[in-house]
A and B are shown apart, each in its own frame.
Chain A
Amino acid sequence: MHSGIESPPGVWWKPAHRAEKLWVAVAFGWCMVLFAMMPFWHLKGGQNPSGVRHTVDPQAFMARTQEFINSYQVGTEGGIPVVEPPAGSDIYLIGLMWSWRPVLRLQRGAQYTLHLSSLDVNHGFGLLPLNINFQVVPGYDYGLRVTPTEVGDFRIVCNEFCGIGHHLMVGRVIVVDGPAGGAPGAGGTP
């Protein structure tokens, strides 16, 4: 019996004790569970970061977002345009130093393809209080197919450092019931 600072005597490639074999087998089995849960959730679960993904020129994405704002703008909040797109459509959100544009007004239960990108540097999309987090990278369009499951007045916090105004970057997503819209509630059953 020797310690870790002594050279092992003789041939050290020996069979393991039963306890070690048991633990290695159990740990390996657990690691297989860890692996299997991921494809399982792709098949049966409701949250996957797959999305529809493309590279994109930041200026082009900005222009596309502006076009989206022009098409569906219904107002302004905190100096940011508010848009109300139709259910099932492609919607656009851009992060730039230091704001999120536009404010989105969505319907509960409707699916949208939310295109996320940045005009300049990395930003972090953090939808609170749920919380839902994605990396927003300049040059990449992350088209996440999202379905809001509750009404509410949500906030988008930037959680990737993007310069001195990083902590001023707050966006907003309002989810309402039904196509005609109504006063957003403070919460609701999922």
Chain B
Amino acid sequence: MNTFRTCPVTGLKVHAQADGLIKANAVVATVALLVGGIAAILVLLTRWQVVHLLPANWFYRLLTIHGMTMLIFFILFFEMAILYFASAVLLNSRVATPRLGWASFWLMVVGAVMVEWNMFAGKADVLFTSYVPLKANSWYYLGVILFAVGALLVVCIFFGTLVVAKREKTYTGSVPLVTFGAATAAIIAVITLGHGAAIYIPTYLWSLGLIKSVDAELYRLVWWGLGHSSQQINVAAMVSVWYLLGALTIGSVVLNEKVSRSAFVLYVLFISMASAHHLLVDPGFGPAWKVWNTSYAMYLAVLASMVHGFTVPAGLELGQRLRGLTKGLFEWLRKAPWDDPAFSSMIFSIIIFGFVGGITGVTFGTEQINIIAHNTLRVPGHFHATVVAGTALAFMGLTYYVIPLIFRKQVAFWPLAKIQPYLFAGGMLLFSVAMTFAGTFGVPRRHYDISFSQAPFDVEFSPAVDLVMAITAIGGLLAAVGGGIYILVTVWSVFFGKPLELGGKRV
């Protein structure tokens, strides 16, 4: 139970329980990615009108499944693994309460299975946001609550491990920046899960008939306190992973700890209120509330992202320059290891998150510009650039180091692994940009049939819409190939991979 091994690459002391908990959460995350990914392909082949694969009820059902499985189960299970890594492994410490860690893991699995079961059985055709008065089966809400409780317990174990490490002096000085970033993600997770409890518990009681009604606008306000804050967890985790991958791949340096850590703190301070940008064209709130909460609050979170947008690449550049790559403006980037799939994943994650995700999101998070964007395809165009090409891609890149460092296996299908980030990033880039164009023409999101073949009035879109929707589909399919390769590579490596050998010795 309390055995440690020493990592031959980093020199870190790894607690056996940390190994186990990281592996379990990462494996379940990958299963979720597979389920969510299949749902994605089916949804795509339906919205691509020339194919229009599914009937309406299965479209809305799989759209619900895709959102919940990817945005909650895939990402949060992976983030649990990151929390164990950033605390126990990076600090050479034992996990604070491993038995609770395993109990929480199983609680999260039970909750996830309950939710998936209800969705697949057609008892929760309410989409990821489950806006009241749409009503799902009570067990669906209970499953979400159980999952959230499990996640909250893991967050507590993370903090507990930080305390244990400090007390047992397993490291000296301040925690590393990556651990600090993970800690801010964990703090935001507490805020997020608090909002989640505040909305899912009354909604669960309403679904049982114990509460008469839940106000529709109040639901949106509190749900997005969960919904947007959960995205900020993903941002903080992604940025932490950027610093981590920079260190592992090319030995990037931290320019200034004060600046980077302050930017992480801004994420914590200014995120809850920024949920307002989901309510900019809602009737329940006045303009003063909307302008204040989407800007003074959100723009300091935006400032934080812009700061990391400088310090992360600058750390890569300085690390390279200090190792002799000083020619011209970009030798440091040209001569970087582009054939290291973790490196290429990190770079594409930074670029697409910033240039596509960040710019589009902040723009239509403006009170008035939201009028021409709300509920159009501009919204999923934006968030696939942030959470998929940003966070998920960074997590995929990290996996290429988790496989040798934690699973202690070699990466299988290595030539495929090296091109996987290019396929996934390229596909997602096409997908997001084309979808954003479609949304600018007014194409609605969450919609089964934009040919409106059975509606009372005809709706004609600009002919450009057919073109951009086709490009969206092609980009999505390309990304699906990239995602499929990732799953093949990781599953094969973990279960059938050759053991890692360094210097002729098994690790």
> Is there direct touching of A and B in the complex, by C-beta distance under 8 Å?
yes
Quote the shortest CB–CB distance from A145 to chain B (angstroms): 13
B259 in contact with A24 (CB, 8 Å): yes
Inter-chain contact A4/B247, CB cutoff 8 Å: yes
Chain A 8-43: CB-based contact to B (< 8 A → 1; otherwise 0): 111011101101100110011011101101110110
Is the Cβ of A131 less than 8 Å from the Cβ of B442? yes
B251 touches A122 (CB 8 A): no
Q: Assess the B456–A45 pair: CB atoms within 8 A.
A: no
Q: Which of B57, B279, B442 contacts A157 (CB 8 A)?
A: B442
Report A-chain residues with C-beta under 8 Å of the C-beta of B126. 161
Residues of B within 8 A of A129 (CB): 441-442, 460-462
Contact A49 B371 (CB under 8 A): yes
Whether A4 contacts B287 by the Cβ 8 Å rule is no
Q: Is the CB of A49 within 8 A of B287?
A: yes
Q: Is A190 an interface residue (CB 8 A)?
A: no
Which bracket fits the contact residues of A?
35 or more
Say how far A68's CB is from chain B's closest CB, in angstroms.
18
Judged by a CB distance under 8 angstroms, whether A180 is at the interface is no
- Residues in B neighbouring A99, C-beta threshold 8 A: 456
Given contacts A3-B246, A4-B252, A20-B310, contact A50 B296 (CB under 8 A): no
B134 lies within 8 A of A121 (CB): yes
Name the residue in B217, B248, B279, B458 with the highest tally of chain A Cβ atoms < 10 Å from its Cβ: B217
Among the stretches B105-113, B175-183, B199-207, B467-475, the one at the interface with A is: B175-183
Contact A170 to B176, CB < 8 A, known contacts A19-B314, A133-B373: no
Q: Which residues of A contact B286 (CB under 8 A)?
A: 50, 53
Known contacts A17-B255, A45-B368, A159-B376; A121/B131 CB under 8 A: yes
The answer to whether B445 and A159 have CB atoms under 8 Å apart is yes
Contacting residue for A31 out of B131, B173, B300, CB 8 A: B300
A95 at the interface (CB under 8 A from B): no
Contacts of A157 in B (CB 8 A): 442, 444, 447, 452, 459
Distance in angstroms between the alpha carbons of A10 and B172 in the assembled complex:
10
Contacts known (A4-B244, A133-B281, A166-B448); A49 close to B370, Cβ less than 8 A: yes
Contact call A53/B284, Cβ cutoff below 8 A: yes
Residues of chain A within 8 A of B257, CB atoms compared: 8, 12-14
Q: Are B283 and A126 in contact (CB under 8 A)?
A: no
**Does any Cβ of B come within 8 Å of A90's Cβ?**
no
User: What B residues does A78 contact at CB under 8 A?
Assistant: 456-457
Whether the pair B259, A38 counts as a contact (CB closer than 8 A) is no
In the bound complex, CA of A185 to CA of B286 (Å)? 36
Does A163 belong to the interface (CB within 8 Å)?
Answer: yes
Query: Is B299 engaged at the interface, CB distance under 8 Å to the other chain?
Result: yes
Q: Which residues of chain B are within 8 angstroms of A6 by Cβ–Cβ distance?
A: 176, 247
Question: Could you say which residues of chain B place their CB within 8 Å of the CB of A5?
Answer: 10, 90, 176-178, 243-244, 247-248
Check B215 against A139 for contact (C-beta < 8 Å). Answer: yes
User: Are A124 and B375 in contact (CB-based, < 8 A)?
Assistant: yes
Residue pair A170, B216 in contact (C-beta under 8 Å):
no
Instruction: Say yes or no: B444 contacts A164, CB within 8 Å.
Output: no
Whether B371 pairs with A47 at a CB distance below 8 angstroms is: yes
Asked if B442 contacts A126 (CB within 8 A), the reply is yes
Q: How many chain B residues touch A (Cβ–Cβ < 8 Å)?
A: 95
**CB of A51 within 8 A of chain B?**
yes
| A16-B256 CB under 8 A given contacts A133-B375, A159-B376 | yes
Contact A130-B442, Cβ < 8 Å, known A138-B133, A166-B447: yes
Write out the residue numbers on chain A whose beta carbons fall within 8 Å of the beta carbon of B456.
78-80, 99, 168, 170
Q: CB-CB < 8 A to A140: which residues of B?
A: 216-217, 282-284
A108 within 8 A of B: no
CA distance A171 to B256 in the complex (A): 56
Residues in B whose Cβ lies below 8 Å from that of A160: 131, 375, 446
What is the bound-complex CA distance between A158 and B371, given in angstroms?
Answer: 14
Q: Is the CB of B376 within 8 A of A131?
A: yes
A169 touches B375 (CB 8 A): no
Question: B283–A141 contact, CB under 8 A?
Answer: yes
Residue of B nearest to A45 (CB): B368
Closest B residue to A122 using CB positions: B131
Bound together, the chains give a CA A160 to CA B374 distance in angstroms of 10
The residue on B at minimum CB distance from A40 is B368
Shortest beta-carbon distance from B486 to chain A in Å: 24
Q: Which of A4, A129, A160, A170 has the most CB of B within 10 A?
A: A4
8 Å CB interface, B49-86 against A: 56-57, 60
CB distance from B358 to the nearest CB of A (A): 12
A37/B133 in contact, CB under 8 A:
no
| Residues of chain A with a CB closer than 8 A to B329's CB | none
The complex places the Cα of A34 from the Cα of B181 at a distance, in Å, of 26
Is A172 at the interface (CB under 8 A from chain B)? yes
Identify the B interface with A (CB < 8 A). 10, 56-57, 60, 90, 125-127, 131, 133-134, 171-178, 181, 215-217, 220, 240, 243-244, 246-248, 251-259, 279-284, 286-287, 290-291, 294-296, 299-300, 302-303, 306-307, 310-311, 314-315, 318-319, 322, 362, 366-368, 370-376, 441-442, 444-450, 452, 454-462
* Contacts A24-B303, A136-B283 supplied; 10 other A-B pairs, CB < 8 Å: A13-B257, A27-B306, A47-B368, A49-B371, A126-B444, A131-B372, A132-B372, A134-B283, A134-B374, A171-B457
A selection of 16 A-B contacts at a CB cut-off of 8 Å is: A12-B257, A13-B258, A16-B256, A20-B311, A24-B259, A24-B310, A38-B295, A48-B287, A49-B287, A121-B134, A122-B131, A130-B372, A133-B372, A137-B282, A159-B376, A164-B125
> Which residues of A are in contact with B by a Cβ distance under 8 Å?
1-10, 12-14, 16-17, 19-20, 23-24, 27-28, 30-32, 34-35, 37-39, 41-42, 45, 47-51, 53, 77-80, 99, 116-117, 120-122, 124, 126, 128-142, 155, 157-164, 166-172
